[in-house]
Amino acid sequence: MSQQAVDGFRAEREEMLSTFKGLSEEEWNAPSDCAGWTNRDVLAHLACTLHGVVDPAFLADLSGGAEAAMEAGVEERRSWPIADVIAEYETYSAQAADTFEALQGEGIGDAPITMPELGTHPMKALAGCFLFDSYTHYRHDLLAPTGSVDRPQPERDEQRLRPTMEWMLAGLPWMCEDALGPVVDRPIVLVLDGPGGGTWTIAPGGDDGRVLVTEVDTPGAAATIRSGTHDFVVWGTTRRPYRDFVKLEGDEDYAIAFLDCVNII
C-alpha cells in the first residue's frame, strides 16, 4: 500500500494545486461541505497539517481532541492573504511527499507511531493517512456536487482510492473502538466495489479488545454490507447518511448496528 499511497498523494496534490490556483476570491470564501469552514479554511487545514509533518514545531496539539486541534491552525490563517496559504500548501505538501517517501524505507517504515484518536500504525502508513485527508477534503468538501467549487471531478482511480480504503480500514478499529466493541460479536463482511475495492471482514478478536479487520471474505458471516469505494469515503466519515449508499444482506439489524458505529476521522 505505502508506495502507492505516496504516488497517489503526489498525484492528488497536482490536481489540487491546479484547482487552487484558478479559484477566485469569491470561491475561496464560499462555504465548503465541511461544517463551519469555508473553502479557504479547508485549504488552511491541509496546509498547516502538512507543515507539521515537515516541521514538528508546527504540529497541532492533539491532546484536546483532533477537531479542536485542527481549528486552531485554521483560525490563525484566516487573516492571511489566500496566496500565502496556497504557497504554504504548495511548499509543505511537496516536502511532506518526500518525507512519506523516506518513511517507506526498511526499518523506519515499520516503526510504530501513535496518533491520538487515530491509533498506532507503522510510519509508512502516514502516506495513506494524508492521502485520505486530501482526497476527502478535496473531492467531497470542496468540489461539486457536494462542495461549492464548480470544477470537474478528477478521475477516481486505484492509485488514490486503494490506499484510502486501506487507511480507513486500518483506522476503523481505533477510531471507533468504544462504539464497535459492544456491538461486533460476529463476523461482518464489507464489500467495496470500484477502483481500489475489495472485500474485508470485521470481527471480534483484535488487539486489546478492538475489532479485527482482515481483507478476506467470510462465508456465512452474519451480514454483508456492499457499497462503492468513493461512497465509503462519504458515509464512512459521516458526511452523508450510510443509508443512501449501502446494500445490506443477512442480519440487517446487526449490519445497521455496526454502521451506526462507523465514524472515521
Local mean pLDDT, 10-residue blocks, the chain (265 residues)? 91 98 97 96 96 84 66 92 98 97 92 91 96 98 97 95 98 96 97 98 94 96 98 97 98 98 96
Q: Which of 98, 141, 165 is nearest to 240 (CA)?
A: 141
Helix (H/G/I), strand (E/B), else coil: 29: coil
Measured CA to CA, the distance from residue 17 to residue 12 in angstroms comes to 9
Which helix (H) or strand (E) segment is 119 a member of?
A: strand 119-122
Q: What stretch(es) of the chain map to CATH 1.20.120.450?
A: 2-154
Q: How many CB atoms lie within 10 A of CB 156?
A: 18
Write down the pLDDT at residue 79: 95
Between 1.20.120.450, 3.40.50.720, 1.10.10.60, 3.40.50.300, what CATH number should domain 2-154 receive?
A: 1.20.120.450
Write down the pLDDT at residue 56: 83
Which helix (H) or strand (E) segment is 1 a member of?
A: none
Q: What stretch(es) of the chain map to CATH 3.30.1050.10?
A: 173-259
Q: Which of 157, 98, 161, 100 is nearest to 132 (CA)?
A: 161
Task: Answer yes or no: are the C-beta atoms of 232 and 165 closer than 8 Å.
Answer: yes
Write down the pLDDT at residue 61: 65
Task: Answer yes or no: are the C-beta atoms of 213 and 179 closer than 8 Å.
Answer: no
Measured CA to CA, the distance from residue 177 to residue 30 in angstroms comes to 35
Write out the CATH class of domain 173-259: alpha beta
Q: Which residues contact 146 (CB under 8 A, 6 or more apart)?
A: 33, 140, 234, 239, 240
Q: How many CB atoms lie within 10 A of CB 207?
A: 10
Measured CA to CA, the distance from residue 250 to residue 36 in angstroms comes to 38
Task: Answer yes or no: are the C-beta atoms of 199 and 190 closer than 8 Å.
Answer: yes
Average pLDDT, the chain: 94
CA 104 to chain CA centroid, nearest Å: 19
Residue with cell 478535496: 138
